[in-house]
Structure 1
Amino acid sequence: MLRFELLGPVRGWHEDTELDLGSPQQRLTLSALLLADGRMLSVQQLVTVLWAEAPPPTAASTVRTYVSRLRGALGTSAIRSLRSGYSSTAAVDVREFAALVSRARGASRTEGRHLLERALRLWRGEPLAGLPGPWAQVQRSRLGELRLSALEARVECDLALGRHQESVGELSALVAAHPTRERLCGLLMLALHRSGRQAEAIELFTATRRLLAGRFGVDPSPDLAGLYQQIITADPALEADGAAVPVRLPVPRQLPLDVADFTGRAAEVARMIGSLRAGGTRSLRIWTVSGQGGVGKTTLALHVAHAVKHLFPDGQLFADLKGTRQDPAAPADVLAAFMRALGQADLPAGLAERAALYRSLLADRRMLVVLDDIRDAAQLTPLLPGSVGCAVLVTGRARPAGLDGTLRMTLDTLGPHESVRLLGTILGRERVAAERQAALELVIACGQLPLAIRIAAARLSARPAWTIAQLSARLADERRRLAELQVGELTVEVSCALGYERLRPELARAFRLLSAPGAAELTVAAVARLLDVPEPEAEELAEELVDLSLAQSPAMGRYRLHDLLRLFAGARLLEEDGDAARKAALHRLRRSG
């Protein structure tokens, strides 16, 4: 049986034999898959884990090499190869730790202390020790927070069981290491009080209050201030008891990294942040961000989430729902991952029961939930908290219907100046300033679509000898534009295909035929002639494409395709219907015009 240890140096075992897990980068790849807890990670997600914002040109192939080597060392069953990524469900000490902590919640003090002590013995030092990069550091912080929470719960058991004097030394060391952690401070105050050292407990509170005021400009929390009042009045309620273990839920911090080169969207960001700061008193706050593929929905949602995460001290949950894929994430599986992140090891089997338990876990908590790439409201609804203290940011190409009180944001492409600014942020402002006109022509050829601009910038970054004008000239040829807009696994064509492949046949045909007149803006009557259907049916099809972010409606009753979607649809029209179908559609349009 395979088992892995991440709560210290990364190690793996097959029965009693330790395995060679390879280089630090290879062990980092394995760690990311193990911490995903069975969820698929795409190659691009693993690239981000390994190299953050500066991957080499060979990043994707290097990831595949690492996975191949790991499967060779561990066996092919250890890592599953999926259509667009990898996953692993191998046994890992992090999962065992979470299960033990979850079992301790609600147990008696004696049993709870035993379970927590078993959980803490799994730690062998700094988690993911020796692994490089910001992702590993974020995970170290997250796992360290879980360990401290379990330690605090175990000390609470000790104090309830009358081990006051034995706990003072351990707590003193912990408070010295974490002087602004108020829960530890309160436990030490309580241990000192129960050991007959009230003066020291009062002195500790005074020192902590002074430290919090000097460092953060805040007063102690109501809990700590209340404990202080109980100590100075010798409240008998502070004596030990044998109640159940009050193990606090872990605080998940699941947000992916904010995009360092985020550009533009000032009005959208301000509107979303303003509403989230204002809070909700009667209903859950839900923002849905929709728009065509590559327009920057996820980037905007994560940027806003990082800006407001301090408003949600109980944590942030994130899930990629893969709504544009053929195998979207099942809500039951997402709920399972969320609840495990919240410390809940025992999960009900049914979707309704899981959703109810999830809402219970988030009741009276302030949690931010980011749900990326939803398919429809049916996929989204079970994942919504029931607490008004929470907020949800949702992204997707389609606009989910039937959600009361939802705030909606539809993203368009960037303006020309914002597009050039994004290019300069990625590529370098001096290089763009030296070819300002060529840069403007380049972003216009990219349809001012952020994904396309990022791809163009990445290609230029990897080819310092190329001028912006040279790439712009290559993109001027519409027949080759989509082929030029790809680098590594980033490609505009795949982004377009993800939305197209979900369409039912008559809608896919309408999408293809709308490309036939080129960049023309079409009336309902023109769409009907082009598709050879009655006007009411033509309008329904066009409006459905708009709802799916595959067409634009610049005014009521008028429709067009974004330039890059038009090129994609045109290529599919020739491939699936042939040039004769294109010419017939144009003939109908001209003959009846």
Structure 2
Amino acid sequence: MRGTAFSRACTERQWERPAVFLMVYATAAARLGEPPAVTARQFHRWRQPGPPCPQPSAQRVLEEMFGTPLHHLGFDVPEHRRRDTAAPPVAAAVPPPAALRFTVLGPVRVRRGDETLAAGRPQERALLCALLMRRGHTATAQELMDAVWGGKPPGRALATLRTYAFQLRKTLGPRALVSDSGGYALHMPPEALDLVVCEGYEAQARIARAAGELPRARTLLRKALDLWDGEPLGGVPGPYAQAQRARLTEWRLTLLQARLELDLELGHHTAAIVELTALSVEYPLRERLRALQMLALYRGGRQAEALRVYTDTRHLLAEELGVDPGPELTELYQNVLCASPALAHPTVVRRRPPAKDTVPYASPRPAQLPAESADFTGRAALVHRLAEQLPRAQGAVMPVLAVRGLGGVGKTALALRVAHTVRGHFPDGQLYADLLGHRAGPAQPGPARPGAVLAAFLRALGIPAAAVPEGTPERAALYRSTLAGRRVLVLLDNAHDGPQIRPLLPGAPGCAALVTSRARLADLDGARPLDLDVMTPEEALTLFTRAIGEERAEAEPAACRETVAACGFLPLAIRIAAARLSARPAWTVSALAARLADERGRLDELRIGDLTVASCFASAYRRLRPDQARAFRLLALADGPDLSLPVAAELLGRDRHDPDVEPLLDSLVDSGLLESPAPGHYRYHALIRLYARRRAGTDADAAVRGGGDQLLTATPLKNV
């Protein structure tokens, strides 16, 4: 409703009409960036028969809803009406966000002073949980829907989410929960969240322990553990809360274990026995807890019971997992058996300087993983398999998983899904770096330098900038020393080659590395390679349907299948095609499918803004040697889905038995521009073939001037 219409409604006393009230509400909500989330039920009183509501009351109700006078929102409220509603809006009576305190290390609660505010229904608490765990960063609507409902949101999920946000804003105040870029963010000081306070205590305890201040470190860890109040995120439903609950539970156990270690170092073994006995029953497969229990019993003069703990643990591990106890527990058993003097607890605790090989700095837990892709689709079996392999960082070898595939196939999305799935198994943090391995050419600065990445990693791990060494080897050595004894996941995205990656790999077991690259990393020793293929037709159709909406996809199912097939089932191409449709609501899917059916213009159609499918292939093409680039262009001119080695040799003008042909083609396979489904056979992805033929046309003059490419033409060769 425009301001003049509002003024006329005031004059004509039309406030008893529900339609007027609803229109004013919707307009004010839009101007504040808020959806009209209030339902008809909440306006029921305006529809009841009886005397009409007086206008000042209705106006005040609206102003209280939005926390601001209506004339501040652009409505032409008459001057006398402004005086009539001159009472301060509700927002002015709400304490600033600093007065709010939030807890997640137990049931999710909101407190203002001594008052506990209602956190709403379970789904509203799930929304609050997702916002709190982002610590002030904006969460998109899709991310929040995934957090509340997982992969199966209700039909009107977006409208329901906005209603939850509206109710949450009424509880917290309009300044605490803000709308931002289609999503929401919770504005609060860091110390208002008990999780942040707990992390601060842990960081201070690490510093105190490194400085030899063991009693102070123990006190700080006790303060951190006192913040916990039962199961974290208690009573909050949804997959996001469940994943965060598992991570926080694992972290609490790490804090508890660190405090028990200090108890034993300070000679409090008698008190620790009771607690360790209960924990060993609750977590029977935790060898570290069993080791601490054995040590506490031995120092308490109960050697026989300590030996029995080892025997029971060995039998349990054999029955449950079919394995023997690890080296630490076995060595401790031998020391207890022979009453080694090394097990005697210290009699005097003094403040001492850190050892020369100890890093006396705070050890924060970096959490650098970017957000997952909101529309990640398929790959379920692959995610499950990789998520099982990474946490098994036991023994003497640190796992390295290398995901390789052509540009736009979804390597980063897969790696982020796996990393977020297993992050609870790496309680000491997650490091992330985009290595920019796809950059090439004079206009681009090139891949990231390992030394610069190491410096950033060290700072994230708590090393002051002034203490970071100058040379890359020294930085790598300090990096490995800092990670020793910790469980950290390192995600290296868009890697260029092995020499770029090697300095960035942790050196100790317990950590793990996940690497993505367009090139085959054959020179990365010990890495488990994984070639990521394009989507299956069913997965591709699901991704396209999610992007354009089910209603639009169900109206033209055949055109949707034609579109994803024209995209070669490549996730990037599918997302670009869907984005073009979303930006053009008047287009039909059939219209887009018809445009993509023309191979000559298909790559031009797969463009949205600066994002193009061709640019992904161009970066790999620019890195080729001249002989590789020539082969890449010429081989694409053959018609048919498959190329045998003899046919490829003829296309390149080589002898059929030339021994250099196969290594040349294999180098294109390693670069991600060619596929080899079987030994001696090669093929292009459909879109890469189109790009190679385009390069054959645009590079023809230069190639001929160089004395090569006698067959170079943009026309496919039909009968080779």
Same fold (TM over 0.5): yes
Structure 1 residues 137, 156: closer, same or farther in 2, change over 3 A? Answer: farther
- CA displacement 1:428-485 (0-9 Å, x = unmatched): 2333233211111000110110110111122222223322111111111222211211
- The alpha carbon displacement at 1:131 in A equals 10
Equivalent residues in 2 for 1:321-360, closer than 5 Å: 321-326=435-440, 327-345=446-464, 346-360=467-481
RMSD: 4.7
- The alpha carbon displacement at 1:303 in A equals 1.1
Equivalent residues in 2 for 1:53-452, closer than 5 Å: 147-153=200-206, 160=213, 176-179=226-229, 181=252, 241-244=350-353, 249-326=363-440, 327-345=446-464, 346-452=467-573
Specify every segment of 5 or more residues in structure 2 that has no aligned partner in the other structure, as ranges.
1-136, 144-175, 230-248, 302-343, 355-359, 441-445
What percentage of aligned pairs have identical amino acids? 42
Structure 1 residues 365, 580: closer, same or farther in 2, change over 3 A? Answer: closer
Q: Which amino acid aligns with 1:150?
A: A
Does the residue aligned with 1:319 lie in a helix, a strand or coil? strand
- Residues 384 and 392, structure 1, Cα contact 8 Å, conserved in 2: yes
Distance in 2 (CA, whole Å) between partners of 1:580 and 1:237 is: 77
Corresponding residue number in structure 1 for 2:575: 454
Q: Does 1:498 find its partner at 2:548? A: no
Distance in 1 (CA, whole Å) between partners of 2:261 and 2:385 is: 45
Structure 1 residues 511, 348: closer, same or farther in 2, change over 3 A? Answer: same
Distance in 1 (CA, whole Å) between partners of 2:413 and 2:188 is: 19
Distance in 2 (CA, whole Å) between partners of 1:283 and 1:173 is: 36
Structure 1 residues 145, 430: closer, same or farther in 2, change over 3 A? Answer: farther
Corresponding residue number in structure 1 for 2:315: none
Structure 1 residues 505, 476: closer, same or farther in 2, change over 3 A? Answer: same
Q: Which amino acid aligns with 1:241?
A: R
Q: Which amino acid aligns with 1:243?
A: R
Counterpart pick for 1:539 among 662, 665, 671: 662
Distance in 2 (CA, whole Å) between partners of 1:159 and 1:263 is: 50
- Residues 319 and 372, structure 1, Cα contact 8 Å, conserved in 2: yes
Q: Does 1:575 find its partner at 2:698? A: yes
Equivalent residues in 2 for 1:17-32, closer than 5 Å: none
Distance in 1 (CA, whole Å) between partners of 2:423 and 2:259 is: 29
- CA displacement 1:160-203 (0-9 Å, x = unmatched): 49889xx98x988765534485687799999999xxx999x99x
- CA displacement 1:269-311 (0-9 Å, x = unmatched): 2332232244442322111111110011111111111111122
Distance in 2 (CA, whole Å) between partners of 1:232 and 1:182 is: 24
Equivalent residues in 2 for 1:505-544, closer than 5 Å: 505-535=626-656, 536=658, 537-544=660-667
Structure 1 residues 568, 278: closer, same or farther in 2, change over 3 A? Answer: same
- The alpha carbon displacement at 1:489 in A equals 3.3
TM-score (norm 2): 0.55
Q: Which amino acid aligns with 1:303?
A: R
Distance in 1 (CA, whole Å) between partners of 2:263 and 2:527 is: 50
Q: Which amino acid aligns with 1:328?
A: P
Distance in 1 (CA, whole Å) between partners of 2:351 and 2:606 is: 65
- The alpha carbon displacement at 1:426 in A equals 2.5
User: Greater RCO between the two (CA within 8 Å, min separation 6)?
Assistant: 1
- CA displacement 1:56-110 (0-9 Å, x = unmatched): xxxxxxxxxxxxxxxxxxxxxxxxxxxxxxxxxxxxxxxxxxxxxxxxxxxxxxx
Specify every segment of 5 or more residues in structure 1 that has no aligned partner in the other structure, as ranges.
1-48, 56-127
- CA displacement 1:521-578 (0-9 Å, x = unmatched): 2222222222223443332222111111101122222222211111111112111115
Distance in 1 (CA, whole Å) between partners of 2:407 and 2:141 is: 21
Does the residue aligned with 2:401 lie in a helix, a strand or coil? strand
Pair member with larger Rg: 2
Distance in 1 (CA, whole Å) between partners of 2:646 and 2:261 is: 78
- Residues 201 and 221, structure 2, Cα contact 8 Å, conserved in 1: no
- The alpha carbon displacement at 1:130 in A equals 8.2
Corresponding residue number in structure 1 for 2:682: 559
Structure 1 residues 374, 139: closer, same or farther in 2, change over 3 A? Answer: farther
- Residues 375 and 396, structure 1, Cα contact 8 Å, conserved in 2: yes
Q: Does 1:584 find its partner at 2:714? A: no
- Residues 401 and 513, structure 2, Cα contact 8 Å, conserved in 1: yes
- The alpha carbon displacement at 1:151 in A equals 3.6
Number of matched pairs: 466
Distance in 1 (CA, whole Å) between partners of 2:527 and 2:423 is: 20
Distance in 2 (CA, whole Å) between partners of 1:410 and 1:331 is: 24
Structure 1 residues 156, 502: closer, same or farther in 2, change over 3 A? Answer: closer
- Residues 696 and 714, structure 2, Cα contact 8 Å, conserved in 1: no
Structure 1 residues 586, 386: closer, same or farther in 2, change over 3 A? Answer: same
Structure 1 residues 403, 163: closer, same or farther in 2, change over 3 A? Answer: closer
Distance in 2 (CA, whole Å) between partners of 1:287 and 1:219 is: 26
Distance in 1 (CA, whole Å) between partners of 2:427 and 2:545 is: 35
Does the residue aligned with 2:407 lie in a helix, a strand or coil? coil
